Amino acid sequence: MTSRETLTLTTPRRNILLAMVGCGVGLALGLWFVDQPENADLKVWSTLGIAVLGLGLILLALQLRFPPRLILTPEGFRLTGLIGVSIPWSEVERFFVYGEDRDLDGHGGVAPHAAWRLKDDAPSAVGMVAALNRKGGVPLDGNLPRNLGMAPEPLAALMEAWRLRYSKAGAAASAMV
């Protein structure tokens, strides 16, 4: 039995445009501050900020043309956009919400986001990102975009439901062969 069920989640273009406006405002402030002659430190930091915000605007313009998409099919999930990845459900161990609290000094921390962990023997687990995460002791092999219009908890639950439904169906179908 083959299902043609497909679900596509896309970053709304209005979110990308709002981020572009934010970068543009920051860029304008940086250009204004860089012209302040009495403070050399402010000039250096403004120049660095201008470069980062300029790069951000370029990347956002590319995302406007190629918005990030998460495509779920019975075979697996695919992330598209500037960087893409395609992973079969059978290679995923689990989906979960990953985040880290800030330390006592208020430094560090990772905002909660939906992530996945691959099975140890999965072919996708030898990729560069998964290998670096595993060597660094990070308990995830990849993460899903935070700007798809879903909070991390429901997104992780949706992904886990698809994984459970289709990884078992795929395992049962391959066992019959």
φ/ψ bin of 143: left (φ > 0), alpha (ψ from -120 to 50), beta (otherwise): beta
Answer yes or no: is 158 within a domain.
Answer: yes
Separation of first and last alpha carbons in the chain: 14
Q: Tell me, yes or no, whether 117 and 105 share the same domain.
A: yes
Q: Tell me, yes or no, whether 97 and 74 share the same domain.
A: yes
Q: What is the pTM of this model?
A: 0.74
* Both structure tokens of 67: 């918005």
Decide if 71 contacts 78 (C-beta within 8 A).
yes
| Mean of pLDDT over the chain | 85
Instruction: Dump pLDDT digits (tens) for 14-73.
Output: 888 999 999 999 888 888 877 776 777 778 888 888 999 999 999 999 988 888 899 999
CA 53 to chain centre: 19
Q: Tell me, yes or no, whether 25 and 37 share the same domain.
A: yes
CA 106 to chain centre: 24
Q: Domains in the chain: how many in total?
A: 2
Instruction: Dump pLDDT digits (tens) for 133-155.
Output: 888 888 888 889 888 888 999 99
Q: Tell me, yes or no, whether 43 and 124 share the same domain.
A: no
